[in-house]
Amino acid sequence: MSSDRRASDPPATDPPDGDPPRVVALAGGVGAARFLRGLVRAVDPRALTVVGNVADDLQVHGLHVSPDLDTITYTLGGGIDEDRGWGRAGDTTVVLDELAQRYGHEPWFRLGDRDLATHLHRTARLRSGATLSTVTAELAASWQVPGTLRPVTDDPLVTRIGVADGRELHFQEWWVGERAAPEPVAVRFAGAQDALPAPGVLAAITSADVVVLCPSNPVVSLGPILAVPGVRAALRSAPVVGVSPIVGGRVLRGMADRLLPLWDCDVDAAAVAGLYADLLDAWVLDTADADRAAAVANLGVTPVVAEAVMRDVPTAQALADTVLAAVLTR
């Protein structure tokens, strides 16, 4: 440490070797974004790569919408609608209302006016030949998102939900369009077998000091990411820690409880760990599920019991610190 540092200077944050831990986070939507708001304060963002889900993406009004990437971008960029966890804070719907009243549309997927700017920009850039990776990086830079945000793939990858009446719906048609009323009987990630990991994704994972599975929906958020060929194999060579999205035996938000049965997986913090047992070194459980720690250990995975309910940024950062400590040797 140079002798001219004043006593009042903040302590140096880089570890002695000056090389911050390389962190990769696999992330879905709202729950992941709230965790990431803590993680970006617990690591050096220059060494953080977030790999986002794209299988929720849809075309609406001719525009390419990437809900999970936008939730991460808006949350880390400070523009998220905090209550909903998606869309822009304080947004308006002048355009949607005009589409409905004057042109007879029935906009079931609510795109606010400011949110539309994102989709207009993304769609124009994609039409001019830019990849989703390139456009995602541009949008993240515009929002000064810390870390590097990458889609898991630039290729088509879409979650399709089979329902009891025989139809197969785009995930958003099921979740938003039909308010998840139809009983799901099957889920598939269309395009997965032909999808290539986006540039930089496998390299980030294989060179990571820690990979975090964010507290996201195991089926429709982490499922598509892990379904891209090469991702699971890359994860096997990395230290991996996951955060249970199930607390007290139930989901905190979203619909994982409706979809986990499709994979014969109980809505249970240890059962979800079992979906990743071949990848995990450690699994963080909320204190409410401390009784499930032994079942996690039986998977050959180190259980870590902590406060996993993120009420605000400080609790998210505390959780992130615990998650990193679970596999990073200090």
Q: Which residues are at the interface with ligand FO1 (CB under 6 A)?
A: 29, 56, 65, 67-68, 70-71, 86-87, 109-111, 115, 172, 175-176
Q: Crossing angle, helix 30-42 and helix 67-77, to 10 degrees?
A: 40
Looking at beta carbons only, is 38 or 87 nearer to ligand FO1? 87
Q: Closest distance between ligand FO1 and the C-beta of residue 20, in Å?
A: 30
Looking at beta carbons only, is 68 or 154 nearer to ligand FO1? 68
Q: Closest distance between ligand FO1 and the C-beta of residue 74, in Å?
A: 8
Looking at beta carbons only, is 87 or 146 nearer to ligand FO1? 87
Q: Closest distance between ligand FO1 and the C-beta of residue 5, in Å?
A: 45
Looking at beta carbons only, is 172 or 244 nearer to ligand FO1? 172
Cα–Cα dist 320/330, whole Å: 15
Q: Which amino acid would we find at residue 130?
A: A
Cα–Cα dist 43/93, whole Å: 37
5: how many CB neighbours lie within 10 A of its CB?
A: 11
Q: Closest distance between ligand FO1 and the C-beta of residue 100, in Å?
A: 13
Q: Closest distance between ligand FO1 and the C-beta of residue 57, in Å?
A: 9
Instruction: Order the strands of the 168-170 sheet from edge to edge.
Output: 168-170, 158-163, 184-190
- Return the bridge partners of 250, or none: 247
Looking at beta carbons only, is 247 or 299 nearer to ligand FO1? 247
- Which residues, 6+ apart, have CB-to-CB distance to 181 below 8 Å? none
The three-point CA angle 73-227-250 to 5° equals 70
Distance set, CA 263 to CA 220, 257, 258 (Å): 12, 11, 10
